[in-house]
Amino acid sequence: MSIGTQTAQRTVTVAARGLTRRFGARTALKRIGFELYPGEVVAIIGPNGAGKTTLLSILAGVLDPSEGEVIRAPEKRFGWVPQEPALYSRLSVAENLRLFARLERVADPEKAVADMLAQIGLEDRGSEEVARLSGGNQQRVNIAIGLLSEPPALLLDEPSAALDPRQRERLWEFVGGLAGRGTTIVFSTHNVAEADRYANRILVLGDGELLFTGTPAELDRAVHGEDTPLDVDRPALAGDFESAFVRFLHQRGH
């Protein structure tokens, strides 16, 4: 599929071609390749050290691959939300957004700040110090910074790791709204049930290799056999998906 064209009514947002990354003698990623589409929610899952953060960092453009390439359409930077919030706690919400809007060279910083405050539902708290916000609201501000330049894709590294269940629910409702408006969402997580619940597609990494790409239902089929229906009731299997994932890794020697 060519980048920037439509085939079967699908436009590619980004294509990864043979991504390899080495750190000295260690190979963190080994010839990773895939394509992402507008409005997709894609989860990257795998054991510790599988290469999840390295892959996200390359997609974000903050780390160069040793080999291979990332092709973006359009050629715009992606929004990048690292696990540690990139916020200045003594500045207000609006001041943080304004600072990063200027760093991103947004054409109209004040309009971008107003739009982001409305989008994350914090219009009435723009003058409040970030340090006074809850963890969930701080993460919303963190994501808003990643959205300032209106990127075609948003990359999130463990976005809900420090949130309580209610904050996680609100976060994914917000992220789902972004996907519904066409933003490609890619997130890493150690919470396999979260990937099963919120992702349209999963990428499974193990020791830097891409072991699987497909839907959660397709991973179930890979583990339990072709007799498992693709339209199986996902909520009914939610409690078993982690076991299926662990079994999948074991079957492939990870």
Backbone angles phi, psi at 83, to 5 degrees: -65, -40
Question: Sign of torsion, CA 33 22 156 44?
Answer: positive
Q: What is the pLDDT of residues 85-100, one digit of tens each?
A: 779 999 999 999 999 9
pLDDT of res. 41: 96
Residue 186 forms part of a structural domain: no
Element spanning 191, H or E: none
pLDDT of residue 38: 94
Q: What is the mean pLDDT of residues 20-49?
A: 95
For residue 165, what pLDDT is reported? 87
Percent of the chain whose pLDDT exceeds 70 = 90
Cα distance between residue 62 and residue 27, in whole Å: 18
Mean pLDDT of the residues in the chain? 87
Asked if residue 204 has pLDDT above 80, the reply is: yes
196 pLDDT higher than 90? yes
The number of domains in the chain is: 1
Q: Are the C-beta atoms of 86 and 145 separated by less than 8 Å?
A: yes
Within-domain flag for 133: yes
Question: For residue range 209-231, what is the model confidence (pLDDT) as tens digits?
Answer: 999 999 988 998 888 776 555 55
pLDDT-based confidence at 166, cuts 50/70/90? confident
In angstroms and rounded to an integer, the radius of gyration of the C-alpha atoms of the chain is 19
**Residue 138 lies in domain:** 85-150
CA 147-149-153 angle, 5° bins: 55
The pLDDT-based confidence of 60 (bands split at 50, 70, 90) is very high
